[in-house]
Amino acid sequence: MIGSYDLKLVALSLVVAAFASYTALDLAGRVSATRGRAARIWLVAGAIAMGTGIWSMHFIGMLAFSLPPLRLAYDFWITLLSVIAAIAVSGLALYVVQRPALTPRNLTVGATLMGVGICVMHYTGMAAMRMSPPIEYDPPLFIASVLIAIIASLVALWIAFQLRQKYSALAIVGKLGSAVVMGLAITGMHYTGMAAAQFAPGSVCLAADASGGMDSTALAATIGVVTVIILIVTLSISAIDAHFATRNARLALELQGANEQLRSIALHDKLTGLPNRFLLEDRLRQAALHADRAGKNFSLMFVDLDDFKPVNDTYGHAAGDELLKQVANRLKECLRKHDTVARTGGDEFVIVLEDVESAKAASLVGEKILEQLALPITVWAHTLEISCSIGISMYPNDGNDIATLTANADVAMYQAKKSGKHAFRLFAPEMRNGPAAAPS
């Protein structure tokens, strides 16, 4: 017996296949973009929607087939098994494409299982007609349908993985084109499988007379309405979810940026961008912990500019601010990347030199700073000459706590001022017995 096809329903099956393929591509993005419980919900819901779409295409194609003079119908429970197979296959596809990486092995195994699952859905659906004698299948065409299903699945999985989290206008066009290709591949498998079916003369459709059988017209109407509703609702929910996810991600980024900016403002000097007193305290604690663990020393240096006030009086505070920024840059150039230079207020800077072998090594850095700051600085066409006084203390020799170490570096800096400025002094215990000199 030779069957025929209603070309309108054939065209409709192709449209449904393309629509289901586009839904699958969209759902792949939602599943891979979510985590935890939300990802599991999208996986299950997506499998149901996508599976329903694929199954609908398959059954509309079945309804397009007629075998005069027989009235064809389909056993409800066997048909339900084909629906379950379609949903299971869809769940497998979404699970594969939501993984972080799609290796050749995962792609091959996933495509093979998915292709076999689609064939199970198709041939289970064919069995739902309960033909007597049973349908026989042409081996070459049967094998071809299986190969087409596997190849189509491989292409579909690869495309879905590539486009899963892309939402630009170009990506949408790409998804539409890919959906058409995937739809053609799925329908190609279906109609190859239908072509493989051979109906013996005098065959009888037992499902047409069984109480559980469904009339083709009623089934077509049910499939059409339910499929369109499910796919449209699924796409709408996916679009809304993607919109809110994008907005939340943008808000999260903005909040993160604002938090980072506030943290930077709280821990850095507004004028020079150097660490301020709060961040300096943390760096000192970290340096002390590191020194204790490694059994090493670190150095604390107080740097105070000499005769900075006359610059403000002569050229104005704006020029003084510009001078401070250039001084900050020169100080950074004298240090290693893991050292710290902070501005603690006015024309005062504090330097933390980590992993310093000895006071002599710290003295070499002090000499370098004196040389660099003694070089002329140009501020708005004015050439300024400035110097500094530096006090140096060593951890733990000059203090095994931050407060003592800081106080001793400050005392050494005062001694440098007292000795005539443009100098550095290493802390010595006897300095605490001498009179203090006020920095200028």
Between 90-94, 191-195, 380-384, the lowest mean confidence (pLDDT) is in 90-94
**pLDDT over 80 (residue 221):** no
Strand order, beta sheet including 297-306: 340-345, 348-356, 297-306, 387-395, 423-426
Please report the pLDDT score of residue 390 as a whole number. 96
Rounded to 5°, angle at Cα 105 from 99 and 111? 75
Both tokens of 82, joined, read: 């084909």
Tell me, what's the pLDDT at 415? 93
Q: Is the pLDDT of residue 437 over 50?
A: no
Point out the least confidently predicted range of 60-64, 285-289, 317-321, 328-332.
60-64
Of 316, 323, 419, 322, give the one whose Cα is nearest residue 375.
323
Q: Could you tell me if 187 and 55 are in contact, meaning their C-beta atoms sit under 8 angstroms apart?
A: no
pLDDT at 439 over 50: no
The most confident of the ranges 25-29, 148-152, 202-206, 268-272 is: 268-272
Place of tokens 């050494």: 412
What HEC string does the chain produce?
CCCEECHHHHHHHHHHHHHHHHHHHHHHHHHHHCCHHHHHHHHHHHHHHHHHHHHHHHHHHHHCEECCCCCCEEEHHHHHHHHHHHHHHHHHHHHHHCCCCCCHHHHHHHHHHHHHHHHHHHHHHHHCCCEECCCEECHHHHHHHHHHHHHHHHHHHHHHHHHCCCCCHHHHHHHHHHHHHHHHHHHHHHHHHHHHEECCCCCEEHHHCCCCEEEHHHHHHHHHHHHHHHHHHHHHHHHHHHHHHHHHHHHHHHHHHHHHHHHHHHHECCCCCCECHHHHHHHHHHHHHHHHHHCCEEEEEEEEEECCHHHHHHHCHHHHHHHHHHHHHHHHHCCCCCCEEEEEECCEEEEEEEEECCHHHHHHHHHHHHHHHHCCEEECCEEECCEEEEEEEEECCCCCCHHHHHHHHHHHHHHHHHCCCCEEEECCHHHHHCCCCCCC
The residues, ordered by sequence, that sit 6+ positions from 105 with a Cβ below 8 Å of its Cβ are none
Q: What is the mean pLDDT of residues 128-148?
A: 89
Q: What confidence tens digit (pLDDT) does each residue in 354-382 have?
A: 988 899 999 999 999 999 999 999 998 88
pLDDT of 440 reads 45
Report the length, in residues, of the chain: 440
pLDDT tens for each residue of 285-309: 999 999 999 888 999 999 999 989 8
Mean pLDDT, rounded, for 163-170: 64
Q: What is the pLDDT of residue 143?
A: 92
**Helices 277-294 and 216-267: angle between axes, nearest 10 degrees:** 90
Q: Is the pLDDT of residue 47 over 90?
A: no
Could you give the percent of the chain with pLDDT greater than 70? 91
Residue 373: closest CA among 429, 419, 329 = 329
Is the separation of the CB atoms in 99 and 164 below 8 Å?
no
Q: How many CB atoms lie within 10 A of CB 181?
A: 15
CA distance 253 to 163: 23
How far apart are alpha carbons 314 and 84 in whole angstroms?
87
Token pair 């037992």 is found at: 206
Q: Which residue has the higher pLDDT, 386 or 244?
A: 386
Q: What is the pLDDT of residue 423?
A: 93
Question: Is residue 324 within 8 Å of 347, Cβ to Cβ?
Answer: yes
Report the C-alpha dihedral over residues 351, 355, 361, 365, rounded to 10 degrees.
-30
Q: Among the listed ranges 121-130, 175-184, 317-326, 407-416, which one has the minimum average pLDDT value?
A: 175-184
Q: How far is CA 3 from the centre of its chain?
A: 53
Structure tokens given for 9: 């329903």
CA 124 – CA 75 distance, rounded (Å): 10
Mean pLDDT highest for which of 27-36, 209-218, 242-251, 426-435? 426-435
Is the pTM of the predicted complex or chain greater than 0.75? no
How would residue 223 be classed by pLDDT, with cut points 50, 70 and 90?
confident
Alpha-carbon span 64 to 47, nearest angstrom? 25
Average pLDDT, the chain: 83
In the chain, what percentage of residues exceed pLDDT 90?
30
Residue among 83, 86, 136 at smallest CA distance from 115: 86
pLDDT band at 343 (very low <50, low <70, confident <90, very high): very high
Confidence check: pLDDT of 31 > 90: no
Q: Given a cut of 60, is residue 109 above it in pLDDT?
A: yes
Closest alpha carbon to 93 in 151, 156, 185? 156
Maximum average pLDDT range among 102-116, 170-184, 320-334: 320-334
With cut-offs at 50, 70 and 90, classify the pLDDT of residue 438. Answer: very low
Q: Which residues of 128-145 are buried (b: 16+ CB within 10 A; e: fewer)?
A: bbbbeeebebeeebbebb
Q: For the chain, which domains are there?
A: 4-253 (no CATH), 277-433 (3.30.70.270)
- Is-contact 375 383, C-beta < 8 A? no
Does the structure show a pLDDT above 90 at 60? no
pLDDT, residue 239, reads 73
pLDDT over 90 (residue 410): yes
The total of other beta-carbon atoms located within 10 Å of residue 330's CB is 14
- For residue 424, which phi and psi values (nearest 5 degrees)? -125, 155
